[in-house]
Structure 1
Amino acid sequence: MTADMAHWPEEDARTYRAAGYWRGETYADHLTRLADEHGDRTAVVDERVRLSYLELDARAVRVAHGLTGLGIGAGDRVLVQLPNRAEFLVLWFALAKIGAVPVHTQPGHRHAELTHLARLSEASAYVIPDTHARFDHRDLAETVRGAAPSLRHVIVVGDPGDHGFTAYSDLEGARPAEPLPPHGARSGDMALLLLSGGTTGLPKLIPRTHDDYLYNARAAGEVCGLGPDTVYLAVLPVAFNYTMNCPGVLGALAVGGTVVMAPDPDPALCQSLVEAEGVTVTSINPQLAPLWLEEAAAGAADLSTLQILQVGSARLADDVAKRMVAELDCTVQQIFGMAEGLICLTRPTDPPEIVTTTQGRPISEADEVRVVDDDGTEVPEGEVGELLTRGPYTLRGYYRAAEHNARSFTADGFYRTGDRVRRVPTGHLIVAGRSKDQINRAGEKIAATEVEGHLAAHPTIRSAALVPAPDPVLGERSVAFVETTGQGTPTRRDLVGFLAERGLAAYKVPDEVRALDAMPLTPVGKADKKALAALLAETAEGAAR
């Protein structure tokens, strides 16, 4: 173990290598091999360009030369904040070719998150678009650079402006006369840094190695049946692990498939891309699911090529899952996973009852799963407990976080996920919520995820989030924030009857209902409960004046 990154014990590493999970390949070698094998096949499509595997590799080599010209090399960390476009992947593989480490950030991150990540990773460079979604990232980068002494370079895809930043086009326009110098990266080295997906606090950094991340994509791709004819549509941000590797972008490329980058997650746009590009697989989150159903019902686009529609990143309500299975002419696949490692998928052969009520089972036979009580004792099958896991693609420690690691991992290397689940006889998991996502109402514990699932079944509610508010009598009361379909907002009295009919205990009915024009989301597409809590605090402060 180093101060920066915890590695798998050597005995486990030998086991994973002997079993063929880890194959000793780096991403630099991986792209070269893919270019040799798939040549002129289309690798990446966005609204501007179409790149073959050979072109993707050649551009990555040119950008790698440009990066070395800036003094960026092996071991350097580079913040990457790019939207869904081909340059993300060209840059990502270019960094691999020089042994540098991309730090995945999200388009929605701002000064607080980015300064924290730059300082924690000691990033030497920061790559941004000039503008995205009507936001000028150059001004943001100037602020972050001023607060993070390690940042030597800001690289801009587009117009670099007048801040003294480097134009990405200058890197991609390089015409190197000599081969790249050896980078010395090994397959067990850190390949990238992902971000923890919590809804509160600043993100932690998750180190993933070449070995484990390549296996992650391969195992998930095998479950989904990906092959050379796969066309994967990246709807959610590509830097999000779900989009990148579950099996996602890297899973499609690993088998010679094509990746289509959606510039915007708008369902109408994305479904038009399904028709135009012959998309076979895509991934959305529960917030988009009702909108996809509405758009599909309108019939504006031909979705006949779509074989698998994944829904993940948060718990999909059973009722919405049943609608999707009934109304869409493709395989609906639930996914439950984490950037820290473990991925669970329902299988294309699973019966509808499993697909609509569970969040899948682990993708690898080497994934080890325990469901335990507060004392760490395994609970009987079917009972709720905290999920612990370890395996060939699940981390053994966060990056530069020794104190946090002492709490987050057991002595024998199991990761304490903080997720509360039930395991059914088939091995599938049902997500009951987060250990910290509970409301203590007069001594009764309310799992927010459970109530949110029932609220999502209401005909006028598009999405819901349940958060606690301080209460002098109850200790905490529950507040339901709802985004509606535009057909009226249900009152608490309406919900009393509706939830009673669904068999929910009376104490779980929200004490208050608040309508939102749009649900605030975290950069990875989950309901932003931190923002909702702040909204509650503002309201309480205003009422006290």
Structure 2
Amino acid sequence: MSDPVDVLAGSDPVAAVLAAYRDGDRLLLRTGGTTGAPRVVVRTAASWVDSFPTYAELAGIGPDTVVGVPGPMTATMNLFAVAQARWAGARHTHDPEDATHVVLTPAQLHAVLDADAARPGTVAVVAGDRLAPALAARARAAGLVVHHYYGAAELSFVAWGPHAEQLSVFPGVEAVARDGELFVRSPYVAEGVADADGWAGVGDRGHVVGTRVIVHGRPGTVTTAGATVVVSAVEAALADLGVVVVGIPHPRLGAVLAAVLPGSVGIAAARRAARDRLPSSHRPRRWVHRETLPLTRHGKIDREALARALAADPQELP
């Protein structure tokens, strides 16, 4: 078997995806890992391209459309969207204001709405993070047609709907929950992630009711501006500071990381350490001192109580 095609190695990753499909090759995709280090996903080109017609039908993409994808091709959701647009004969642009369709994260959708750059009638496909019903409603009030999907680099599409609380299983996909963890079986799954019966998961919690998929997220992680951050990895990088990290809700980014420091550690020094040791997406946005932390009855840090207390604190984020 030939080596997979590293689609980001050349100047035109979209052409590399389509050529790999034509030649029956596999794709090597690098995607931002949950700890900040890129991870490699290998899949057949067909496992992407075979979903193009269904995606085109659901989103209404064809030769007369212009697809705006402002994000980088290093994000698999963006590379997929541009490859699908080229396959469909649509034109691609980086400028959402020039598009009939836009592919955005929820944070990018916030920015478009805040800038009053949403052209009525534009179709927005939102992914990469949870699309809250309130944000979806705001976008629709601005005249956008909104779609949302849940997936993963290893799984591709899992569910599709108007927002995160109304997702249905993507056509051609089966979904189940085992002990509260989501698994899928579909022709769109990457290599090496499925069990002997074809079921694959990435650790996301949730449940399935009929065709409805309810996603709770990954335990021990915080998704902020589309990046999934393993909290324990951030704490390990800053272990010498004695930091405790939790996620707190944020209206634009979904959530942000908050770092709680003992009184002996200065916030300025902690910020410098984070800049030196962590990628920007994985740095806490809020830093506070706490002499005592809430504990569970077993004596462990009660992270849920800590997150609630910080979320209720009116302190502004920097």
Q: TM-score range by the shorter chain?
A: 0.5 to 0.7
Corresponding residue for residue 107 of structure 2: 287
**Matching of residue 456 in structure 1 with residue 262 in structure 2:** no
SS in 2 for 1:204: strand
SS in 1 for 2:202: strand
Flag the 1:357–1:231 CA change in 2: closer, same or farther, 3 A.
same
Q: TM-score, normalised by structure 1?
A: 0.41
Given that 1:220 and 1:363 are in contact with CA atoms closer than 8 Å, whether structure 2 keeps it comes out as no
**Matching of residue 433 in structure 1 with residue 239 in structure 2:** no
Corresponding residue for residue 154 of structure 2: 340
Q: Match for 2:69: what amino acid?
A: A
Corresponding residue for residue 256 of structure 1: 89
Q: Match for 1:295: what amino acid?
A: A
**Matching of residue 421 in structure 1 with residue 206 in structure 2:** yes
- Looking at structure 2, the residues matched to 481 and 197 of structure 1 have their Cα atoms a distance apart, in angstroms, of 18
Given that 2:103 and 2:126 are in contact with CA atoms closer than 8 Å, whether structure 1 keeps it comes out as yes
Corresponding residue for residue 15 of structure 2: 93
| Larger relative strand fraction | 2
Cα distance, 1:391 vs structure 2: 1.1
Q: Spell out the pairing of 1:283-432 with structure 2 (5 A cutoff).
A: 283-296=103-116, 303-304=119-120, 306=122, 308-326=123-141, 328-347=142-161, 355-358=162-165, 360-364=167-171, 366-373=172-179, 385-397=180-192, 409-425=194-210, 427-432=211-216
Flag the 1:423–1:510 CA change in 2: closer, same or farther, 3 A.
farther
| Unmatched 5+ stretches in structure 1 | 3-73, 102-184, 263-269, 348-354, 374-384, 398-407, 441-447, 472-479, 484-491, 493-504, 518-545
Flag the 1:410–1:96 CA change in 2: closer, same or farther, 3 A.
closer
Rg: which structure is higher? 1
Flag the 1:197–1:337 CA change in 2: closer, same or farther, 3 A.
farther
Q: Which of these residues, 217, 220, 224, is aligned with residue 59 of structure 2?
A: 224
**Matching of residue 509 in structure 1 with residue 308 in structure 2:** yes
Cα distance, 1:466 vs structure 2: 4.2
| Larger relative helix fraction | 1
Q: Spell out the pairing of 1:104-253 with structure 2 (5 A cutoff).
A: 186-187=23-24, 189-190=25-26, 192-200=27-35, 202-245=37-80, 248-253=81-86
Residue identity over aligned pairs, in percent, reads 25
- Looking at structure 2, the residues matched to 511 and 345 of structure 1 have their Cα atoms a distance apart, in angstroms, of 32
- Looking at structure 2, the residues matched to 325 and 242 of structure 1 have their Cα atoms a distance apart, in angstroms, of 22
- Looking at structure 2, the residues matched to 227 and 76 of structure 1 have their Cα atoms a distance apart, in angstroms, of 29
Given that 1:359 and 1:431 are in contact with CA atoms closer than 8 Å, whether structure 2 keeps it comes out as no
SS in 2 for 1:287: helix
SS in 1 for 2:106: coil
Q: Match for 1:371: what amino acid?
A: A
- Looking at structure 2, the residues matched to 418 and 468 of structure 1 have their Cα atoms a distance apart, in angstroms, of 24
Cα distance, 1:333 vs structure 2: 1.2
- Looking at structure 1, the residues matched to 54 and 43 of structure 2 have their Cα atoms a distance apart, in angstroms, of 15
SS in 2 for 1:223: helix
Q: Match for 1:314: what amino acid?
A: D
- Looking at structure 1, the residues matched to 57 and 83 of structure 2 have their Cα atoms a distance apart, in angstroms, of 13
Instruction: Note the alpha carbon deviations across 1:164-190, whole angstroms, 9 max, x for none.
Output: xxxxxxxxxxxxxxxxxxxxx852x31
Given that 2:174 and 2:186 are in contact with CA atoms closer than 8 Å, whether structure 1 keeps it comes out as yes
| Unmatched 5+ stretches in structure 2 | 223-230, 233-245, 263-282, 291-303
Cα distance, 1:324 vs structure 2: 2.3
